[in-house]
């Protein structure tokens, strides 16, 4: 309830500021104007939101799956770890934004390049969090498993992997928060649909209120993805007690 009051207060201050200073609408539209655009252009915004939402969710799922698979491979195989792990770390030195035009060049203006972009952005936090979790298994559990004659595969799947789920959950939460960034950057560089595309297009035309409305919907999408992910992760890791709930 309190964050809502804070948000409403900020919106009121924004409205007041625009009215008092008389800033032109194409520079900073007042919230009331953005709200009316939201209502008037609802169909357009919804259509674009579905497009961008699909990019986000597909990219999120792809990045999560690839990241988790690679982390498990690294944990299971010293060979892979030695040959490929340094590359994964070094790859983070490449600014993802700089890769976006290349992805559009290779994968086209459609959805694929945006999904790839989102997957690329979240890949690293997922790999590093899960791999880290897999390496930090409680020594006592491993010892117990060894005295029980557990094969390495069972130790990985039944001990290390569940023990790493809380760490993986942290990575997945970060991934959910940054997945929209990947999708929108992809749309800015070159697209024919989506909220990011709508924003750049409308800003260029001086239709700032519609751009703001698109931004607002984008925030809702990001929030939705994060909240849904957070809920799912709590189901996945029920033995972890959360403090401060």
Partner 1 sequence: MAVLVVPSLSVRDARIAFDGHLVADRLSFDAPAGQTTCLLGRSGVGKTSLLRHLAGLLPGTTRAAPLAYMAQQDRLLPWLGVLDNVLLGYRLRGDEAARRAAEPRARALLAEVGLGDRLSALPRTLSGGMRQRVALARTLCEDRPVILMDEPFAQLDAVTRLDLQDLAVRLLAGRTAVLVTHDPLEALRVGHEVRVLHGSPFTVGTVIAPPGPVPRDPADPALLALQARLIRDLRGTA
How far is residue 86's CA from residue 44's CA, in Å, rounded to a whole number? 45
Q: Which of 12, 16, 136, 143 binds partner 1 (CB under 8 A)?
A: 143
Q: Distance between terminal CA atoms of the chain?
A: 15
- CB count within 10 Å of CB 177 equals 17
Nearest to residue 226, comparing CAs of 168, 184, 182, 177? 177
Q: At 242, is the secondary structure helix, strand, or coil?
A: coil
Report the nearest approach of partner 1 to the CB of residue 174 (Å): 22
Report the nearest approach of partner 1 to the CB of residue 82 (Å): 24
Q: Which of 6, 91, 92, 158 binds partner 1 (CB under 8 A)?
A: 158
Nearest to residue 202, comparing CAs of 96, 23, 94, 48? 48
Sign of the torsion angle spanned by Cα atoms 239, 240, 243, 245:
negative
- Closer CB to partner 1, residue 73 or residue 237? 237
Cβ atoms 194, 55 nearer than 8 A: yes
- Closer CB to partner 1, residue 91 or residue 158? 158
Q: Which stretch binds partner 1 (CB under 8 A): 7-15, 80-88, 100-108, 236-244?
A: 236-244
Cβ atoms 113, 104 nearer than 8 A: yes
Q: Residue 239 interacts with partner 1 (CB under 8 A)?
A: yes
Q: Residue 14 interacts with partner 1 (CB under 8 A)?
A: no
Cβ atoms 79, 147 nearer than 8 A: no
Q: Residue 154 interacts with partner 1 (CB under 8 A)?
A: yes
Q: Which of 148, 204, 243, 245 binds partner 1 (CB under 8 A)?
A: 148
Report the nearest approach of partner 1 to the CB of residue 152 (Å): 11
Report the nearest approach of partner 1 to the CB of residue 161 (Å): 10
Q: Residue 155 interacts with partner 1 (CB under 8 A)?
A: yes
Cβ atoms 143, 87 nearer than 8 A: no
Q: Residue 140 interacts with partner 1 (CB under 8 A)?
A: yes
Report the nearest approach of partner 1 to the CB of residue 154 (Å): 5
Q: Residue 150 interacts with partner 1 (CB under 8 A)?
A: yes
Q: Residue 144 interacts with partner 1 (CB under 8 A)?
A: yes
Report the nearest approach of partner 1 to the CB of residue 145 (Å): 6
Q: Which of 62, 159, 203, 215 binds partner 1 (CB under 8 A)?
A: 159
Where do we find the tokens 């560089």? Answer: 189
- Token reading at 10: 């900020």
How far is residue 187's CA from residue 117's CA, in Å, rounded to a whole number? 10
- Closer CB to partner 1, residue 50 or residue 142? 142
How far is residue 237's CA from residue 60's CA, in Å, rounded to a whole number? 19
Interface with partner 1 (CB under 8 A): 138, 140-141, 143-151, 154-155, 158-159, 162-163, 165, 237-241
């Amino acid at each position: 309830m309190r964050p809502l009051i804070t948000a409403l207060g900020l919106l009121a201050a924004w409205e007041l500021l625009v009215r008092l200073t008389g800033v032109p609408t194409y520079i900073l539209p007042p919230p009331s104007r953005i709200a009316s655009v939201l209502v008037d252009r609802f169909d357009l915004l919804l259509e674009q939101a579905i497009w961008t939402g699909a990019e986000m969710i597909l990219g999120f799922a792809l990045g999560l799956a690839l990241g988790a698979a690679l982390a498990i491979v690294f944990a299971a195989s010293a060979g892979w770890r030695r040959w490929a792990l340094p590359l994964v770390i070094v790859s983070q030195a490449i600014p993802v934004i700089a890769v976006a035009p290349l992805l559009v060049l290779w994968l086209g203006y459609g959805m694929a390049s945006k999904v790839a972009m989102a997957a690329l952005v979240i890949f690293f936090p997922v790999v590093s969090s899960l791999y880290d979790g897999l390496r930090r298994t409680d020594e006592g559990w491993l010892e117990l498993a060894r005295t029980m004659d557990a094969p390495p595969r069972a130790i990985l799947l039944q001990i290390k992997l569940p023990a790493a789920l809380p760490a993986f959950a942290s990575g997945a939460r970060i991934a959910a928060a940054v997945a929209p960034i990947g999708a929108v950057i992809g749309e800015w560089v070159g697209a024919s649909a989506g909220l990011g595309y709508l924003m750049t297009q409308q800003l260029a035309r001086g239709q700032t209120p519609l751009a703001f409305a698109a931004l607002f919907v984008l925030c809702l999408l990001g929030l939705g993805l994060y909240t849904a992910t957070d809920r799912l992760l709590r189901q996945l890791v029920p033995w972890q007690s959360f403090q401060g709930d």
